[in-house]
Every structure is written in structure tokens, then in C-alpha cells.
Chains A and B, each alone.
Chain A
Amino acid sequence: MFKFDKLVFGDAGWGDEFLIATLMTLLVSILSMGLGLFLAILTVWAKIIQNRITRFIANFYTTVIRGVPELLVIYLIFFGGNAVVMSIAKVFGYNKYIELNALTIATIAIALISATYSSEVLRASYLSISKGQLEAAKALGLNKFSIFFKVISPQVIRHALPGIGNVWQITLKDTSLISVTGLVEIMRQTRISSNVEHSPLTFLVTAAILYLCLTTISGRVFKSLEVNYSKGFTA
């Protein structure tokens, strides 16, 4: 039933392959979380400036992506992404075939999903900053950049950290779906190994334990970050 002896490192087992796969999962999660946060800031900005067009685009984007299964988004980017990139390249006069590699596609797809969740978190924490603070900053004569970096960001980060931690967990678990694109992360490695060894239970349990470790450890990291950022605010 279980063949845990197949998990040793080296040529006899799959230990090192799984280690690399775990690092790949982490890499994709971190990259797409970063890109997602950047997109989320853009989305929040588009929603809070008083412009109907940008607000409509941002609302449309978040509603559609959050209403459609993650798997569909990934399929759409994986199978349709190349065509989009090539048609954009054609506008700039580049006619050769372009193929995005699996890591890029995975990062973009997961980032698009994670950005919608992050944007809700960031928007809520932006709205929780009292108006008086912005007025006070303006009255002190701070320019827009100083207001953003010295007044808004520190408070948004503190308010948003618990929510961002949740989004990180979702993002980490969503990376299991990109195994359909052929990128060798934990889930793909599980399928490969179990096909070779004819023991899916062993490797699926391994994958579950690996994901559990990743979520637990990163949960601890976010907890300590929260403690660090709320210094002076807890009794």
C-alpha cells in the first residue's frame, strides 16, 4: 500500500525530485503573490480614483475572475495566452512564433486570480484609514509620494496583513492547479512518480504533507509579521 522507501534522496528514490518540486511550488507562489499584489494595488487605485471607466474595468475584472473557477482561468491563459501575446507582438511588427514557458504562464494565471482577492483586502484596509489623517498630511504640506509612502502604506500594511496572509494560503493552494500546464511542481511530480511506481497513495500522502508543512510554516511567518507590524498597538 505505502512505499515510503521510494522517497529516499538520490537515484533510488524521489526525495530530491520532490524537494525541487516543492521549491518550484514556493517559487511560483512567491512570484505570483508579488505580481498579484502589484496588480491589486493598480486595481484598488482604479477603483478609488473618481473615474467611471477605470472603476468599471476594475470591477469587471474582479467580478469575472472571482466568479469563474480557477481551473478555467488557468486553461484560458495556458491555451489562449500565446495567441494573445503573439497578436500584441504583431502590432509592434514582430511576426515570429512566440512561446511562453510554463513558469511564466503559471505565474500570470495565479497572479490574476490572487490579485482579485488581494485587491479586496487592500481596498478594505485603505478605506479603514480615517480621512482626517489624509487631511492632516495635506495640511502639513506633504506631497503625493510622501503621503503614499509615509502615511498610507504603513497603515494599510498593518491593517491588511491578516487578510494578505489568507490570500497567501489561497494562492499557495491554487498553485496545485497549474500542474495541468505541465510545470513540475508538487502535484505534477506526484503524478509522475505515482505513474512510475504504481503507488499513488504514497505520493499523494507525501504531497498532502508537503502542502501542510508549507501552509503551516508560512502561517507562522505571517503571525510573526503581524506581531511585528502592530507594535505599539497591542496592549
Chain B
Amino acid sequence: MIEFINNIQNSLIYKNFFLVLSGLDNTLLLLLISLPIGFILALLFALGRVSKITFLSRTIASYIFVIRGTPLLVQIYLIYFGLGSVKFIRESFLWYALKEPFWCGVIALTINTVAYGAEIFRGGIQSIEKSQVESGLSLGFGKFLLLRKIILPIAIRKVLPSYGNELILMVKATSLVSLTTYMEMTGIARKIMAKTFAPVEAFIAAGILYLFLNFLMVQFVKYLEWKYNPHLRLNN
């Protein structure tokens, strides 16, 4: 038994696991900044998308079209390599953020998730029954109160499953930031591979961690769905 445990502790996957684990905080940091900002901006963009101001609606529609039509990798490279090559950006205050791969990653991930999230929320907002809005209006709700008390709660509740999907896609998308020399879990796994020439062990260790992270995300979304759908609970 002791020999067996020693064998595991000496195995490459076990050692790599803890090395990759040291990159977990960098991955989480990317998510903790880009997801909340992305959520709020996505809501605002969705409201702009369904608003009656044609110019605003069209602008946001074309933004969503461009972001959803190009790979995230292109967006990350555009911000990290593309903007960094422009002289007046290098001389402006923007350079304080754009010279760091971390902030480039945060900006790219946020831009990406806002486009997908806005489209999801738009679906939720447009699927609200007219009668609910009308009953709110008949109670004398103003525009803001209607939004806060009726439209947003119902819309967010409805789109929770698909927004949960987007959150999981975002967890996976953080691995692309490693291509801009930012050392999160995938970056560390690649470094281990270059050192030990044992690719499978390195990437499986990282894969297990990503799976675990996504598992937590799924549980979190399930909890939110349970919390905000009290009328659908079986026993209450």
C-alpha cells in the first residue's frame, strides 16, 4: 500500500498536477475580472440592441456580428500584437494596460463575452410576454422600474441555462490567453512539456483541473437556476 502511494507521488502526473495548480490563480483572475464586467456590459448592450434608437441598435448589431464572426484568437492577437504595433497607442496612457498580456487577455475576453452575452440576453428580453409588460405599465411603473422589477428578472431567469453555457465557454477560452505569454494553466502545462518531453502527462494534469473548474461552474449555474426559479421547485 505504502509502495503504491509512493508510486503515485513519484508519478509525473502527480507532480505536474501541483505545478499546473500554481497557474490556477492566474486563470481565475482572468475570469474574475472579465466575467462580471462582461455580464453588466452584455445586459446594457442587449438593452441597446432592443431599443428603438435605430443608430444604437444597428451599431450594437454590427459589433455582435463582427465579434461572433471572428475567432477569439484573432481578437486576442489583434489586441496584443496589433494594437501594440501602433505608435500613438504605445505613447498614450493605453499602453499601461496594453503592454501587459494579462490586461490584453482581460480586454479580449470581455469584448468576446459581451457580444455573445448580449445576444443571449436579447433573446431573453424579446421572449417576455407582452401581457407582463402591459400589466406593469397598468400598475403605473415607470420605464426604469419596469426594467428593474419585471423585464430583467424574467429575462435573466429565462436565459440562465444558455448563459451558463457561455460561462463554461469562457472558462475554456482563458486557455487562449496563454498564447500571449501569459502563464496560466495551459501556459504552465506547455512549459512543463517543453522541459520534460512528456506531453500527455502535462496536458492531462491541466485537463483534469479545467474539468474540475467547469464542474464547479455547472454547479454554480445549477444553484442559480434553483434559486431564481422557486416556482419550478418540486417540493416547497
Contacts and interface: CB of A to CB of B under 8 A. Distances in A.
Interface of A: 1, 63-64, 66-72, 75-76, 79-80, 83, 173-174, 176-177, 179-180, 187, 190, 194, 198-201, 204-205, 207-208, 211-212, 215-216
A67 B69 contact: no
Nearest 5 A/B pairs, CB to CB: A79-B199, A69-B175, A176-B71, A173-B71, A69-B172
A201 B86 contact: yes
Interface stretch (B130-138, B149-157, B203-211): B203-211
Nearest to B175: A69
Contacts of B71: 173-174, 176-177, 187, 211
A173 B178 contact: no
Given A76-B199, A179-B73, A212-B69, 7 more contacts: A71-B178, A75-B199, A80-B199, A187-B73, A200-B77, A205-B82, A208-B74
B166 to A, nearest CB: 13
Given A79-B199, A200-B81, A72 B70 contact: no
Interface in B156-200: 168, 171-176, 178-179, 186, 189-190, 193, 199-200
Nearest to A176: B71
Interface in B22-63: none
B81 A194 contact: yes
Given A211-B74, A216-B69, A1 B176 contact: no
B38 to A, nearest CB: 18
Interface residues of B, number: 41
A75 B85 contact: no
Contact of B70 (A67, A68, A208): A208
A163 to B, nearest CB: 13
Interface string B201-226: 00110110011001100000000000
Contacts of B171: 69
Contacts of B173: 69
A204 B82 contact: yes
A176 B74 contact: yes
Contacts of B77: 187, 190, 200, 204
A67 B179 contact: no
Nearest to A213: B69
A53 B104 CA distance: 45
A18 to B, nearest CB: 14
Nearest to B80: A200
B187 to A, nearest CB: 10
B69 A211 contact: yes
A11 B84 CA distance: 28
B66 interface: yes
A189 B36 CA distance: 35
A72 B207 contact: yes
B86 A80 contact: no
B203 A201 contact: no
A201 B82 contact: yes
B176 to A, nearest CB: 6
